[in-house]
Structure 1
């Protein structure tokens, strides 16, 4: 018996290392997944109670790989992805997440996470994607994130981060292809060596920060760059002509609202546009709000057939609009407003068949509105306001069935075609401050118009069109400063959605209808500076929403009603009516 027991002991001693060696990976795997689970539960404990309901299935008794937002790598028995974007999670970003060392993707975007970004996240050495976009995180971007050498995607946009952009991250995380640090409060310069290290960079978005200095010339080495967006900063220097010329794959270049200048002391745009012609994939260019000087080159059509948007507003671009611009056949948005452009609008602009928004406002353009604009079937926004355009508004604009916004104010236009009444999608129409002498009744047939109708400051005469009462959806109606005459009809309540009606500075006369009913939601009624007379109707006070009433400079007489909303109005509503009286301070007392 002793011999047999000894043999068993020897057998166990010989094979115990083999059994231990075989079981060790199983034990290790079990422990690592338990560690991952503990890290996730610690993250849950840190957030507020009201947002823990989102993670209701995160229970100690549950399999961690079945947790909401968790994806496991079953081969390694580790948590590999954590996706909780848009989950409504409130609370701090727990440093315990740094124990998830098998993590390759961390997406906590569009939540309400507060506090700093934990430096401990640098332990996630396998991480490829870090997305914390759209939270309430504050403080600096930790330098320690530079240890995430395999990082390809980082998005920290839309937080309250401060400090500088850590150069260590841009220099050490050499696999980065996507960087978005926009909409924070970062300051300082863009690290100058960025382009010497990040040769795989395709997307760089730094807009809406407080960055200063120049755009680093080293970015010219990022030859596969597709998007560059540095809008709304304080970057300066000449437009990056040499750098841009090497970005053959560039799709979007957004530099607006910085301090860049054009060449030759801010007088020459030609070199930069010439460099852009090398970017054959270019889809959008935004250079707005910088006071850039120079003329648009006649070679602008060499920007390529992929170009869909040009934003050059709020600059000092002078000269005429090049006729060659009509060759950019895929253009959808053209905004050249608030410059010093002169001459006429190109006659053949109607060739831009894909155009949806044409904005040439606030320039020095002269001549007629080209009828070819009526051939742009997809046009939804047309803004030619604040120029010196003359003649009649072309009748074929009525063919634009998708036209929503039509702004023609502050020109020298003398007529408008009845066919505009066919633009059934029209929501905003402003032809104020022109020389119109008549307005077609068809305009008042736009019963679906919602935002505003502004015909003020023209020379329109005749009675108020009764068809006005058919505009049931419009919010604001301004017919002031014209020569309308006759009486005010009682059907104003037909403008059911109106919040503002202005009929001031006309030649309206006669009495207000005793049963004048106002639209239910009307907040402001101005009929001042007319020749209206008679007593003020008591029914005006029945409009519970009325906040502003101006009856000044007419010839009303008798007592001011004391009921309803009249108790809220001051003498400013009744100036220049010498024959009225009432109990309002500043108005003669009735005898």
Structure 2
């Protein structure tokens, strides 16, 4: 009996063990997965519908079990569009070896319980929305070979505990928000084959001991903030095949023997760093090289033709460097690249490449999809046999010096998606065969010399997103076919001579974001269908002849910028503009609008809304300075019309008598009150300043107006350098000489002109002083920002400046061009964009001040005229009694014949200044006399002797060898001459001057002054 009992207990125990192994523990896996499912959203696919008691556990979707114990060993749920959170119950699948949850939409955090999966070898939860920290408990998964957390929202640092995963072969932590230094524990993961830390916020230098990862094949540190010299440790990773370092802050030169130290590299991306020096020629020894990118660095030297030896080369990206020397041999590498039969992409844009575009480019690989030569000084024409590049998808030749018409063979590149040719000198008509390139997505032909009509065949490019053909010589009507391209997002035809109306079909452009048709000859009423372009953000229609009222566009709630200025539009300003919450800029100036200006919403900000030169507008906020609206008195009825007429007549007569009495009294008191009136006017003008300053403060700040602090002497006063007790910076104090006739009026004019205007290229008037000195004499002074580099005159003519104030060097051609653009921009602001149009009247080099980075600021508004605030003649008499406006030599010829101040006069003065800046000769130089002027002197030398008249210091100011200085000087001088035309109406407008000078700068100089713009 006892033996039977013992046998029963043994069998029962064994049965329990079997149940434990096959039943109870399998049930725990089932419960863990059901708990996991309960926190998952499955979407429309119902991917986990098999997860129920009707199906055996090991046949559930994505579930695999071990053969021996029937435990869950593999869970593969990648790419099933699952959402929700990852349940901590996942940690109960203790036999799990493989876990794949990538490419879903899981949120929340990675549960700490994952660290319980001690058998796990493969963990992939990339491409989700997981946040929080990377759990340190993952270090318990000591058998891990593959860890993929790529593309989540994981933050903070990487836990150092992961350094215990010494068997790890693959680690993907990229595209998260991981911060801190390079994770030092990674040096312990000596088995790593692939490491991806790209697209995080890691910073600092790379430690030398990364060289311990000697098995590394692929290393990605893209788009972090790593810095320091190119890490020497990388040269010891000889097994590397892929190295991606783009978008960091690495600096220094690459070792000349780079190619010998990393002989197995297939893909090398160093784009977007601060690397310098030459591209190592040894790179061309790496026969395995398929992709090399070092764009957006500071590389110099030439591009080696030896790249043509790399038979496996697919992509060569060298853009945005300083490669080349603007000389004829710069493009030899293009001939050599014809040997690379598998080349897919070539980008060498925005370098210093010069010379003629070789016809050999048509012999490049038939697999070439991208050819990018933008932003160099390449001349010649596009080869006729361009059709040979049958695989071309992007042809980018913009911002060069290309000429001639477009070759007809372009129409055979049926796979072309981008044709970008802006800012060249390409001529002829826009060919209709472009309509054959039906896959075109982007077409940019702006800023060339195309003429004739816009071909309707462009409407056949039904996939077009971006069409830009502005600033050419196009005429005729806008083809309605273009308005039928359903995909169009950007449409730019500004700066041509297009005529006719804006087609009604514009309303069919449902995806249109930008419509730029400014500065053409378009006319008629704006179509009501504009209101159907619901995606519109930018609408530039300025400088045309549109008339009538603004159509109903209140549905364009996303619009940000609207410019309808300089047209013939009329009617009232629609109040629905008040509701455009995203509006940043609304310009309705120079039209015929009438009635009350709204005061709510964006109309409360005078820096957003511009309505000047609409003489029949009224009301609005006070900053707009419009006349008040007259409240209409209700009709008095019809019972006593004769009485009403008598009342009106009586009131009119009374007003006339009062006016007559006022005029007589004014004349009688005029002389007696002259000084008092002048003082009161000056004091009234000073009310614009919140803080004024006393005579004593100025005297102390200038050490008693000591000559040692004197920095300039003008027509109406002396300028001193001072450090005011109320200011933390040095200022310039202009003390008026009130004994000089016109000084007081000059003081008033300058205050009146500068009180409400702000522009980066105008001198800033800080405050003013109207007081008496210690002897009881009247004292007037103006206080400006101090310009440490003096005025332009002393830079152009240093030999006339005393040694102590003489500039240490001369101005380069680029610096002169930048200064000219600054002055033209200031005049454009004064003439076009001020609330009241201002004419400076005295543009000359001594009135152009330079700050510490040589940014120009126009100064001295003592003769300025506010043309619209008062009647021109009365204001003219009020502020000055001088007959000639400005300085002899710079003043427009019509001023010498009694002409009134005008914006055309300023343009003439600017033209003289521009000629002086490039020739180094003043307009009153002893060389000139009679009919031989600076103008004629320049014009006679323009065709062949431009270098003979150029300022010698320009020719010696470090221009690059091969730089086309003659061509650049010719173009700038031509602008100056067009500003100096005898007839005021033939002179360029300041807006045109700015555009032309900027175009010249961008064509010849690639270093943009972005800090100033």
TM over 0.5: yes
Give the secondary-structure state (helix, strand or coil) at the position aligned to 1:441: coil
What is residue 437 of structure 1 aligned with on the other side?
A: 475
- Shift of the 186–29 alpha-carbon distance from structure 1 to 2, 3 Å rule, reads farther
Q: What is the SS of the residue equivalent to 1:298?
A: helix
Q: Are residues 1:118 and 2:135 paired?
A: yes
CA distance in 2, matches of 1:101, 1:400: 59
**How far did residue 262 of structure 1 move?**
4.6
CA distance, structure 2, for counterparts of residue 35 and residue 146 of structure 1? 35
In the alignment, structure 1 residue 351 sits paired with structure 2 residue 388: yes
Displacement of 1:118 in angstroms is 3.3
Assess, with a 3 A threshold, how the Cα gap between structure 1 residues 52 and 426 changes in structure 2: closer, same or farther: closer
Structure 1: runs of 5 or more not aligned: none
Q: Deviations over 1:297-355 (max 9, x none)?
A: 23552573333223444544454555444312212223333x32321354133322212
Q: Does the C-alpha gap of structure 1 residues 255 and 346 become closer, same or farther in structure 2, counting only changes over 3 Å?
A: farther
SS in 2 for 1:136: coil
Matching residue of 1:328: 365
Task: Write the mapping of 1:19-168 to structure 2, written as runs, cut at 5 A.
Answer: 71-75=64-68, 77=71, 78-166=95-183
Report SS of the residue matched to 2:312.
Answer: coil
Alpha-carbon displacement from aligned partner over 1:427-478 (angstroms, at most 9, x marks no partner): 22111222323355255453424312211122x1532254554644334322
- 1:184 is aligned, of 195, 200, 203, to 200
After superposition, the Cα gap between the structure-2 partners of 1:204 and 1:588, relative to the gap in structure 1 and judged at 3 Å, is: same
Check conservation: 1:251, 1:283, Cα contact below 8 A.
Answer: no
Distance 1:163 1:31, change over 3 A: farther
Q: Deviations over 1:186-233 (max 9, x none)?
A: 2234455656744461x33221111223154755754572x4322101
2:629 corresponds to which residue? 589
Aligned partner of 1:307 in structure 2 is 343
Equivalent of 1:281 in 302, 312, 337: 312
How far is 1:383 from its partner?
A: 1.6
Quote the residue 1:502 is aligned against. 540
- Alignment partner of 2:556 out of 513, 521, 526: 521
Supply the distance in 2 between the matched residues of 1:266 and 1:488 (Cα, whole angstroms): 54
Q: Take 2:168 and 2:387, find their aligned partners in 1: how far apart are those partners? A: 48
Q: SS in structure 1 opposite 2:476?
A: coil
**2:593 matched to 1:553?**
no
Q: Is the Cα–Cα contact under 8 Å of residues 72 and 81 in structure 1 kept in the other structure?
A: no
User: Radius of gyration: which is bigger?
Assistant: 2
Please state how far the C-alpha of 1:482 moved relative to its aligned partner: 1.7
Provide the residue aligned with 1:341 in structure 2. Answer: 377
The superposition leaves residues 497-530 of structure 1 with CA deviations (integer Å, 9 ceiling, x where unpaired) of 4634432212345x449xx444743746543212
Tell me the TM-score normalized by structure 2.
0.48
The answer to which of 317-326 and 354-363 deviates more is 317-326
Match of 1:209 in 2: 224
CA distance in 2, matches of 1:181, 1:574: 53
Q: String of CA shifts for 1:407-433, please: whole Å, max 9, x gaps.
A: 122233334551323322222211122
- Match of residue 454 from structure 1: 492
- State the secondary structure of the residue aligned to 2:471: coil
CA distance in 1, matches of 2:21, 2:352: 66
Report the equivalent of 2:246. 231
Distance (whole Å) between structure 2 residues aligned to residue 469 and residue 351 of structure 1: 37
Contact (CA 8 Å) 1:193, 1:218: kept in 2 or not?
A: no
- Per the alignment, residue 568 of structure 2 pairs with 531
Name whichever of 380-389 and 490-499 sits farther off.
490-499
Larger RCO: 1 or 2 (CA < 8 Å, sep 6+):
1
Residue 119 of structure 1: how far off its partner (Å): 3.7
Distance 2:398 2:102 in 1: 41
Contact kept, 8 Å, 1:400 with 1:423, in 2: the verdict is yes
The alpha carbon displacement at 1:399 in A equals 1.1
Kept in 1, the 8 Å contact 2:572–2:593? The answer is: no
Residues 162, 574 of structure 1: alpha-carbon distance in 2 compared, 3 angstrom cutoff: closer
Please report how far the alpha carbon of residue 285 of structure 1 lies from its aligned counterpart in structure 2 after TM superposition.
Answer: 3.7
Confirm or deny that 1:267 pairs with 2:283. Answer: no
In the alignment, the residues of structure 2 paired with residue 248 and residue 439 of structure 1 have an alpha-carbon distance, to the nearest angstrom, of: 60
**Preserved contact between residue 507 and residue 533 of structure 2 (Cα < 8 Å):** no
- Answer whether contact 2:483 2:506 (CA < 8 A) is retained: no
- After superposition, give the CA deviation of every residue in 1:558-577 in whole Å (9 maximum; x if it has no partner): x3487xx9986468553212
Structure 1 CA distance for aligned equivalents of residues 237 and 373 of structure 2: 32
CA distance in 2, matches of 1:395, 1:355: 20
Between 1:241-250 and 1:474-483, the stretch displaced more is: 241-250
Q: Specify the SS of the correspondent of 1:358.
A: strand
CA contact (8 A) 1:134 1:158 kept: yes
Distance 1:329 1:93 in 2: 48
**Cα distance per residue 1:92-125 (max 9 Å; x no partner):** 4334323322212101223343343334423323
> Structure 2 vs 1, CA of residues 349 and 242 (structure 1 numbering), >3 Å: closer, same or farther?
farther
Deviation at 1:134, TM superposition (A): 1.9
Count of residues in Structure 1 that have an aligned counterpart in Structure 2: 561
1:290 Cα deviation after fit: 4.8
Among residues 253, 268, 272, which one is paired with 2:268 in the alignment? Answer: 253
User: Which structure has greater strand proportion?
Assistant: 1
What is the deviation of 1:184?
0.9
246 and 406 in structure 1: CA distance in 2 versus 1, 3 angstrom threshold? farther
Higher normalized helix content (fraction of residues): 2
Secondary structure in structure 2 of the residue aligned to 1:334 = strand
Contact 1:133 1:155 in 2 (8 A): yes
Q: Which runs of 5+ in 2 are unaligned?
A: 72-94, 280-297, 633-1013
Instruction: Say whether residues 1:578 and 2:615 are aligned partners.
Output: yes
Shift of the alpha carbon at 1:589?
A: 1.4
Instruction: Provide the C-alpha distance between the structure 2 equivalents of 1:325 and 1:242, rounded to a whole number of angstroms.
Output: 30
Aligned to 1:401: 438
| Equivalent residue, structure 2, for 1:387 | 424
The root-mean-square deviation of aligned C-alpha atoms, in Å, is: 4.6
Partner deviation per Cα, 1:253-286 (whole Å, 9 max, x = no partner): 3221112235189433434x63x55654333344
Contact 1:251 1:284 in 2 (8 A): no
Instruction: Name whichever of 64-73 and 569-578 sits farther off.
Output: 64-73
SS in 2 for 1:122: helix
Closer, same or farther in 2 for the Cα pair 1:287/1:480, shift >3 Å? same
TM-score (ref. length: structure 1): 0.77
- Residue correspondence of structure 1 range 361-376 to structure 2 within 5 A: 361-376=398-413
Q: Once the 2 structures are TM-superposed, how far is the Cα of residue 79 of structure 1 from its aligned partner?
A: 1.0
Q: Give the 3-state SS of the residue equivalent to 1:342 in structure 2.
A: strand
